[in-house]
């Protein structure tokens, strides 16, 4: 057991200067919560919920105070630029970290939010897990899993925390896999930008975990690489990045190389840098003179294994540190000149001046600037009538700014209409200065009124006493609460709510009963929630809430919000933070606006203080601007007028000149049947109510029958999962699949049918509908959901959610558009897979299976690897699917005993005979898939003789008899080289070994396939018997190999490949 090496860290023995719980008022907490990025964080959490991601938990300052024993000095386990406390939350030990010296700054908020965002994208056992955060203190806090010191402390601050050479190699290997996962497993590579020994933490068993993601970014390798500000730690920064400011995965490779030098020498790179030296130059100088043993940490030389492995480790370190800086200076200088000379006027819409002044924004791990520029420069915008005064900004983010609103002097009509574009967070946000509220939309004459939608705070009380809450005060402003849009929603368990006007006169009210229904929908009728509409012309109100819940923790939420908001199209959880915001619609009417008398396209009326204007029929634009109503170009030829649909204008066309008469006749006809409808209304209502009740009971029955409660319990216990699975309703999936139309069928099989569906957010999904329902299938269904929540890899099909309300449970996956590998191998009409594609697909699948076995939080054995469970997208990227029979394996076990399950022809013979399931069972099945790719034959053929029925046995037999080229697909023999065919035959033979212990790991398989990918040479396999010299080849890595792969350093420096021919 390792001694806790936080004791190796140095810190000042005094308390962190954070106000205790008693020193923070509720107002201070609210200000801190908002200032620390609460709105943005809530948006991110909502985004991850919509994508099946598990959100972090937001802790209160009371939680943190109790967990750290009142921030007691004895709880401090580390202090540098941040202070780390040991704490206990939810019966588990945690580390609570807060930075100091940056309270309230934009840098701190960006640094904090970036860590949260990046961490939610990463699920790897060698990355420190983030449990949650606290925003109510002056400085935001992060709650991590508890580690036992970092690598820097172990190497440089104490002799008691000594790390052996064997452990240093293992630590380097684990961090290499974590960085490689960040670079390759996500659709967009994540670059850490601060890889150093202080960012590598160790647990009690010295397992390494990467942390400190505050400077990390996500890059798109297909887009133009922008310049980024130079960040990182002295002594670790890639010199090519320092010269060009261009970020790539190679920046992390170089920094990791410095860590490897640190592991070899035991010297501190930052300390040498401060003293004017450079550890890398020091290392390279000794290495090139073959004197590396002179700089090795002398304590390591006492271990016998060092001298035998130091040469390979040093070679890999040198390759990681290799940088191509020749000629970079001229290119960088030229780029600086080009970018600084570019004039980009429409960037002003986004609060920007030019490309050189674009501030770094890291939100949801992707740069959206390029897409914004394309939209902003669209030629359609030129044809639109103006909405703002000339020279004034008319858009902020995705919110248009019509006059009388405006940003800056002479752009708005009067102070109540002044708005500000905040460009410091996420996309630019528009704020109404009068109330400091975020603006969602500004509309002119929507349903007769001019409206502005703002985000107002949700009101919350947990007191059992009588509580009075006031609204924002609109008195003396041109704004009113809009009765046509807003309703007051009240959610809670047992409360009475009254709505009072400015004179405390009761103007509405409702009550909720304690029915423990925790959702607010637009069907609020008293059971857990209630709602009522507002009277017109209201500029102020207060809400009086009396909470008569049974417990002291019963809270009531009151929110004035837009009835058509997407928030209540589903449900609102009343446990929302009291600092959450909801959309509220205000109406506005300007006054004292001078208009030209000769403007024929608008009509203005009303008293001077409420001067209401609108554009005449057929004209569009802003009636509050001089000559602001215009006829768009598309409407010039319209004879009967013009309408606007989205970003386009369409001419109005009538089918007949008698349209008006037909309309009158239709109205009369409709009135004549109203009486009949009223007569049958009561009967229909009773019938529908009974039918709806029966339908709800059936859904409850199916939810229980399909393991809904078990699934919820399993997911709640699944602390390590990366995905929080969404539970869909039957109505959602029925609409998505067009009522399970035959035209939407993607595939059929013994399991059932897969349908293509389109969700309301336009996301394309695949809905898996089983054919029959029994208890074993329910268990498989629950198992598949739980397994997939453990996985986050770009080569594994993502599970988006499930539906439990039908007789047969349904699974909802991401849509993979190009069918299965089986289809492309065996169907004559499918697109031909070239040798290069075959190698790439097998490499991607091998990497995904290797991830399941070694990088997931708990090892996962798939148990049904086959070509029909490998899906391909439009780019022929492979994705592993179907985890219905997969198994989680405890970390301390290498195999489990279980009932044999799988597919005949792919099944591991050792598993079949002994029922002992291990990772090597997947290796055997994957070997069969490789044989399929090589031969284009099915694993089992009932048309052939008994000796040739099993493809795997036939392949092994042909290899041993030096005749395996006879069963290869002829076209592949033309595309592949002899060296590749011999090598992959040797690999397949190892994978298909009868004894599992003789098979390679999936990590080794993936490594060997990656090596083959780099050596694609078109050479036919024409005469196998003349090439015995190829049976044993030594293949050395080329100098221009992808350096990123080199951090996956294992036994792949020299690969021995033997031909079976």
- For every residue of 348-383, DSSP letters joined together read GGGT--SGGGPPP--BTTB--HHHHHHHHT-GGGGG
Residues 871-902: pLDDT tens digits?
999 889 999 988 877 887 766 666 677 766 77
Q: Where do the domains of the chain lie?
A: 5-145, 151-329, 342-377+385-434, 443-588, 602-651, 702-814, 821-1058
State the average pLDDT over residues 702-731.
Answer: 55
C-alpha distances out from residue 623 to 86, 408, 592, 617, Å: 62, 21, 14, 12
Q: In the structure encoding, which two tokens stand for residue 880, read together?
A: 């592993």
Write the CB contacts of 398 (distance below 8 Å, at least 6 apart in sequence).
427
Is 149 in contact with 202 (CB distance < 8 Å)? yes
State the average pLDDT over residues 564-577.
Answer: 50
Decide if domain 151-329 falls under CATH 1.25.40.10: no
Q: Is the pLDDT of residue 443 over 50?
A: yes
Burial per residue of 75-93, b for 16 or more beta-carbon CB atoms within 10 angstroms, e otherwise? bbbbbeebbbbbbebeeee
Of 646 and 239, the one with more pLDDT: 239
- The pLDDT assigned to 846 comes to 95
State the average pLDDT over residues 115-143.
Answer: 82
Domain 821-1058: give its CATH code.
1.10.510.10
Burial per residue of 917-937, b for 16 or more beta-carbon CB atoms within 10 angstroms, e otherwise? bbbbbbbbbbbbbbbbbbbbb
- The pLDDT assigned to 261 comes to 93
CA distance 461 to 440: 26
State the average pLDDT over residues 133-158.
Answer: 84
The band of 993, judged by pLDDT with boundaries at 50, 70 and 90, is very high
Nearest CA-CA partner of 862 in 924, 938, 811: 924
State the average pLDDT over residues 358-371.
Answer: 26
Of 680 and 848, the one with more pLDDT: 848
Q: Is the pLDDT of residue 817 over 80?
A: yes
Highest mean pLDDT among 173-187, 195-209, 493-507, 707-721: 195-209
Residues 602-634: pLDDT tens digits?
777 766 667 778 787 777 888 888 888 888 777
- The pLDDT assigned to 156 comes to 84
CA distance 300 to 162: 10
State the average pLDDT over residues 706-712.
Answer: 48
Residue pointed to by tokens 């109330």: 435
Of 322 and 667, the one with more pLDDT: 322
CB atoms within 10 A of CB 509: 16
CA dihedral 404, 405, 407, 410 (to 10 degrees): 20
Write the CB contacts of 114 (distance below 8 Å, at least 6 apart in sequence).
213, 214, 215, 216, 362
Residues 645-662: pLDDT tens digits?
555 666 765 444 444 445
Q: Is the pLDDT of residue 803 over 70?
A: yes
**Average pLDDT score over the chain:** 73
State the average pLDDT over residues 226-231.
Answer: 77
Pair type for strands 602-605 and 486-492: unpaired
For Cα atoms 826, 829, 830, give the angle at the middle one, nearest 5 degrees: 65
Percent of all residues in the chain with a pLDDT value above 70, rounded to a whole number: 64
278: helix, strand or coil: coil
CA dihedral 243, 247, 252, 255 (to 10 degrees): 20
Burial per residue of 130-149, b for 16 or more beta-carbon CB atoms within 10 angstroms, e otherwise? bbbbbbbbbbbbbbbbbbbb
Pair type for strands 726-727 and 799-803: parallel
Residues 248-273: pLDDT tens digits?
888 999 999 999 999 999 899 888 88
- The pLDDT assigned to 505 comes to 67
The band of 491, judged by pLDDT with boundaries at 50, 70 and 90, is confident
Catalytic residue among 238, 268, 554, 864: 864
- Annotated binding-site members: 769
Angle between helices 951-960 and 978-991 (to 10 degrees): 120
Domain 443-588: give its CATH code.
2.60.120.380
State the average pLDDT over residues 1039-1058.
Answer: 35
- Annotated binding-site members for ATP: 769
Q: In the structure encoding, which two tokens stand for residue 437, read together?
A: 């509220």
C-alpha distances out from residue 494 to 22, 298, 364, 489, 498, Å: 30, 72, 39, 14, 14
Is 906 in contact with 864 (CB distance < 8 Å)? yes
Q: Is the pLDDT of residue 974 over 80?
A: yes
Write the CB contacts of 274 (distance below 8 Å, at least 6 apart in sequence).
234
Residue pointed to by tokens 């859904």: 699
Q: How does DSSP classify residue 527?
A: B
CB atoms within 10 A of CB 198: 20
Architecture of the domain defined by 702-814: 2-Layer Sandwich (3.30)
Is 441 in contact with 452 (CB distance < 8 Å)? yes
State the average pLDDT over residues 43-51.
Answer: 50
CA distance 952 to 991: 10
CA distance 87 to 84: 10
Specify the pTM: 0.50
State the average pLDDT over residues 474-487.
Answer: 85
Q: Is the pLDDT of residue 1026 over 50?
A: no
CA distance 674 to 678: 6
The band of 1023, judged by pLDDT with boundaries at 50, 70 and 90, is very low
Write the CB contacts of 965 (distance below 8 Å, at least 6 apart in sequence).
973, 981, 1021, 1024, 1061
CB atoms within 10 A of CB 626: 13
Q: Please state which of the ranges 124-133, 489-498, 680-689 shows the lowest mean pLDDT.
A: 680-689
Residue pointed to by tokens 């229909």: 684
Residues 427-437: pLDDT tens digits?
688 999 988 89
CA distance 866 to 797: 15
- The pLDDT assigned to 676 comes to 60
- The pLDDT assigned to 218 comes to 83
Domain 5-145: give its CATH code.
3.30.200.20
Residues 204-213: pLDDT tens digits?
888 999 988 8
The band of 397, judged by pLDDT with boundaries at 50, 70 and 90, is confident
- The pLDDT assigned to 15 comes to 33
Same fold, 151-329 and 821-1058: yes
- The pLDDT assigned to 659 comes to 46
State the average pLDDT over residues 574-591.
Answer: 72
Q: Please state which of the ranges 30-44, 183-197, 981-995, 1015-1029 shows the lowest mean pLDDT.
A: 1015-1029
- The pLDDT assigned to 570 comes to 38
Residues 278-288: pLDDT tens digits?
888 888 888 88
State the average pLDDT over residues 851-873.
Answer: 86
Of 471 and 314, the one with more pLDDT: 314
Q: Is the pLDDT of residue 425 over 80?
A: no
Q: Is 864 a catalytic residue?
A: yes
Highest mean pLDDT among 91-95, 363-367, 713-717, 1036-1040: 91-95
Residues 739-754: pLDDT tens digits?
989 899 887 754 568 8
Q: How many residues can be counted in the chain?
A: 1061
State the average pLDDT over residues 389-394.
Answer: 88
Write the CB contacts of 225 (distance below 8 Å, at least 6 apart in sequence).
219, 246, 247, 248
For Cα atoms 380, 384, 389, give the angle at the middle one, nearest 5 degrees: 130
């Amino acid at each position: 057991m390792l001694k806790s090496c936080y004791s190796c860290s140095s810190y000042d023995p005094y308390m962190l200067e954070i106000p205790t719980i008693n020193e923070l008022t509720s107002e201070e907490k609210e200000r801190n919560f908002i200032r620390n990025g609460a709105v943005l964080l809530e948006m991110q959490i909502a985004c991850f919920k919509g994508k099946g991601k598990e959100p972090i938990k937001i802790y209160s300052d009371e939680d943190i105070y109790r967990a750290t024993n009142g921030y007691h000095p004895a709880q401090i386990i580390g202090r540098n630029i941040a202070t780390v406390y040991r704490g206990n939350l939810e019966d588990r030990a945690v580390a609570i970290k807060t930075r100091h010296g940056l309270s309230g700054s934009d840098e701190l908020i960006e640094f904090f939010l970036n860590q949260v965002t990046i961490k939610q994208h990463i699920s790897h056992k060698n990355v420190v897990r983030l449990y949650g955060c606290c925003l109510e203190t002056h400085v935001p806090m992060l709650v991590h899993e508890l580690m036992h010191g970092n690598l820097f402390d172990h190497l440089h601050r104490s002799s008691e925390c000594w790390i052996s050479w064997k452990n240093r190699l293992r630590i380097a290997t684990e961090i290499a896999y974590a960085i490689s996962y960040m670079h390759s497993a996500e659709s967009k590579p994540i670059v850490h930008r601060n890889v150093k020994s202080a960012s590598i933490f160790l647990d009690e068993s010295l397992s390494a975990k990467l942390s400190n993601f505050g400077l990390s970014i996500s890059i798109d390798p297909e887009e133009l690489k922008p310049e980024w500000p130079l960040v990182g730690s002295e002594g670790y920064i890639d010199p090519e990045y320092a010269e060009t400011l261009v970020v790539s995965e190679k920046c992390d490779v170089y920094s990791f190389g410095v860590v490897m030098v640190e592991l070899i020498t035991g010297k501190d790179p930052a300390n040498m840098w401060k003293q004017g030296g450079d550890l890398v130059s020091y290392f390279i100088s000794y290495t090139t003179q073959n004197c590396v043993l002179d700089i090795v940490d002398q304590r390591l030389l006492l271990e016998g294994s060092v001298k035998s492995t130091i040469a390979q480790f040093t070679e890999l370190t040198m390759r990681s540190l290799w940088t191509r800086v020749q000629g970079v200076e001229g290119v960088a200088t030229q780029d600086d000149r080009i970018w600084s000379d570019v004039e980009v006027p429409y960037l002003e819409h986004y609060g920007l001046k030019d490309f050189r002044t674009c501030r770094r924004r890291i939100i949801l791990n992707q740069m959206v600037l390029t897409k914004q520029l394309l939209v902003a420069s669209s030629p359609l915008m030129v044809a639109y009538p103006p909405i703002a005064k000339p020279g004034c900004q008319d858009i902020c983010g995705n919110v248009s700014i019509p006059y009388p609103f405006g940003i800056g002097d002479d752009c708005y009509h009067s102070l109540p209409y002044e708005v500000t574009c905040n460009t410091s967070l996420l996309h630019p946000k528009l704020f109404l200065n009068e109330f400091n509220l975020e603006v969602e939309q500004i509309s002119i004459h929507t349903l007769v009124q001019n409206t502005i939608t703002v985000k107002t705070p949700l009101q919350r009380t947990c007191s059992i006493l009588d509580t009075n809450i006031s609204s924002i005060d609109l008195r003396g402003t041109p704004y009113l609460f809009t009765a046509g849009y807003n309703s007051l929603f009240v959610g809670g368990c047992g409360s009475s709510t009254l709505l009072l006007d400015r004179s405390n006169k009761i103007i509405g009210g409702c009550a909720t009963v304690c029915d423990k229904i925790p959702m607010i929908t637009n069907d609020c009728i008293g059971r857990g929630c209630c709602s009522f509409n507002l009277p017109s012309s209201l500029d102020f109100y207060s809400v009086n809430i009396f909470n008569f819940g049974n417990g002291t923790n019963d809270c009531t939420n009151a929110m004035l919000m837009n009835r058509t908001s997407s928030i209540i199209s589903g449900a609102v959880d009343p446990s929302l933070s009291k600092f959450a915001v909801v959309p509220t619609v205000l109406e506005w009417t300007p006054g004292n606006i001078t208009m030209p008398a000769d403007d024929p396209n608008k009509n203005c009326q009303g008293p001077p203080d409420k001067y209401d204007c609108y554009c005449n029929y057929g004209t569009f634009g802003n009636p509050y601007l001089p000559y602001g109503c215009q006829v768009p170009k598309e409407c010039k030829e319209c004879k009967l007028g013009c309408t606007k649909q989205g970003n386009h204008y369409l001419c109005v066309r009538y089918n007949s000149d008698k349209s008006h008469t037909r309309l009158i006749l239709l109205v009369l006809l409709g009135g004549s049947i109203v009486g009949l409808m009223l007569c049958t209304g009561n009967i229909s209502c009773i019938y529908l109510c009974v039918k709806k009740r029966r339908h709800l009971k059936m859904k409850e029955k199916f939810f229980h029958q399909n393991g809904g409660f078990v699934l919820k319990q399993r997911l709640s216990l699944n602390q390590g999962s990366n995905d929080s699975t969404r539970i869909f309703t039957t109505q959602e999936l029925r609409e998505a699949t067009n009522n399970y139309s035959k035209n939407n069928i993607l595939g059929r099989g013994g399991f059932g049918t897969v349908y293509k569906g389109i969700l309301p957010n336009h996301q394309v999904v695949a809905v898996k509908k089983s054919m029959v329902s029994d208890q074993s299938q329910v268990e498989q269904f629950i198992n598949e959901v739980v397994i997939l929540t453990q996985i986050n890899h770009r080569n594994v099909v993502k599970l988006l959610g499930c539906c439990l309300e039908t007789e047969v449970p349904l699974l909802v996956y991401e849509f993979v558009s190009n069918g299965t590998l089986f289809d492309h191998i065996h169907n004559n009409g499918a697109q031909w897979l070239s040798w290069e594609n075959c190698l790439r697909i097998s490499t991607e699948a091998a990497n995904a299976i290797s991830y399941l076995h070694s990088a997931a939080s708990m090892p996962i054995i798939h148990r049904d690897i086959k070509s029909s469970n490998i899906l391909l997208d439009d780019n022929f990227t492979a994705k592993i699917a179907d985890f219905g029979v997969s198994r989680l394996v405890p970390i301390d076990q290498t195999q489990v005993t279980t009932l044999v399950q799988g597919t005949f022809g792919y099944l591991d013979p050792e598993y079949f005979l002994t029922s002992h399931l291990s990772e090597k069972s997947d290796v055997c099945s994957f070997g069969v898939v490789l044989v399929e790719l090589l031969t284009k034959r099915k694993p089992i053929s009932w048309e052939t003789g008994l000796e040739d029925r099993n493809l795997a046995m036939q392949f092994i037999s042909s290899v041993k008899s030096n005749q395996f080229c006879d069963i290869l697909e002829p076209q592949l023999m033309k595309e592949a080289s002899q060296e590749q065919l011999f090598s992959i035959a040797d690999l397949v033979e190892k994978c298909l070994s009868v004894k599992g212990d003789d098979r390679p790991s999936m990590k080794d398989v993936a490594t060997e396939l990656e090596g083959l990918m780099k050596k694609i040479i078109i050479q036919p396999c024409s005469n196998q018997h003349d090439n015995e010299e190829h049976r044993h080849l030594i293949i050395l890595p080329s100098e221009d190999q992808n350096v990123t792969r080199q951090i996956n350093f294992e036994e792949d420096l020299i690969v021995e490949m033997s031909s079976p021919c």
